């Protein structure tokens, strides 16, 4: 839309080079130049942008075997919410072959007084380029997420389970063994 502005945070300059080459991809060209690409670690870059206020942050960095745990700590979540508007949404793509990352987020939601929904998308049939994926959406207020639960009687969004023995990931402590599948 003409009124939307997109900011992309990308660690790898080669990815930006490919993504902005319209011979390969046209999404950015089609954004009508209402986008900005910030090269660098997303968390560090967000820390430096104290005046920004976003409606939506989508964090998608966890599908590899070596995940950037510093993007999933309690302090990181607090930073993301400090950069979101009051009714802003924080969305995580948490698909991972080896780790149950919803366990980490569920603990942060509880400790930071947030609300969340989890979606474990499983296609009912094989469709080219459509894959299973896991998502979490976090908000300050449950009312913001309520439409996702009431959209239909078989909503694919669910409240995250409670993990009573979970230990929060912080900037000083992370344990992937605690979330091993």
Nearest by Cα to 31 from 43, 40, 22, 41: 22
User: How many CA atoms lie less than 13 Å away from 56 in the CB half-sphere?
Assistant: 12
Helix runs in 87-130, H state only:
101-112
pLDDT at 151 over 90: no
Confidence band for 89, pLDDT divided at 50, 70 and 90 = very high
- pLDDT tens, 110-135? 999 999 999 998 888 999 999 999 99
Q: Map out the domains of the chain as residue ranges.
A: 61-179
Nearest by Cα to 74 from 65, 82, 62: 82
Rounded CA-CA distance 7/62 in Å is: 19
Rounded CA-CA distance 56/87 in Å is: 9
What's the alpha-carbon Rg for the chain, to the nearest Å? 17
- pLDDT tens, 24-38? 998 888 876 688 899
Rounded CA-CA distance 131/174 in Å is: 29
């Amino acid at each position: 839309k003409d009124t939307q502005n997109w900011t992309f945070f990308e660690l790898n300059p080669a990815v930006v080079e490919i993504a902005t080459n319209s011979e390969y991809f046209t999404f950015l060209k089609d954004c009508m130049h209402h986008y900005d690409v910030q090269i660098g670690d997303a968390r560090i870059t967000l820390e430096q942008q104290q005046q920004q206020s976003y409606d939506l942050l989508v964090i998608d960095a966890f599908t590899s075997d070596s995940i950037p745990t510093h993007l999933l700590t309690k302090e990181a979540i607090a930073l993301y919410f400090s950069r979101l508007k009051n009714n802003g949404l924080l969305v995580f793509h948490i698909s991972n072959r080896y780790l149950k990352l919803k366990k980490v987020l569920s603990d942060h939601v509880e400790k930071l007084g947030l609300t969340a929904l989890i979606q474990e998308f499983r296609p009912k049939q094989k469709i080219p380029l459509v894959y299973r994926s896991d998502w979490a959406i976090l908000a300050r207020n449950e009312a913001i997420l309520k439409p996702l639960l009431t959209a239909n009687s078989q909503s694919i969004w669910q409240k995250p389970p409670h993990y009573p023995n979970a230990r929060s990931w912080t900037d000083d402590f992370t344990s992937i063994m605690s979330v091993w599948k």
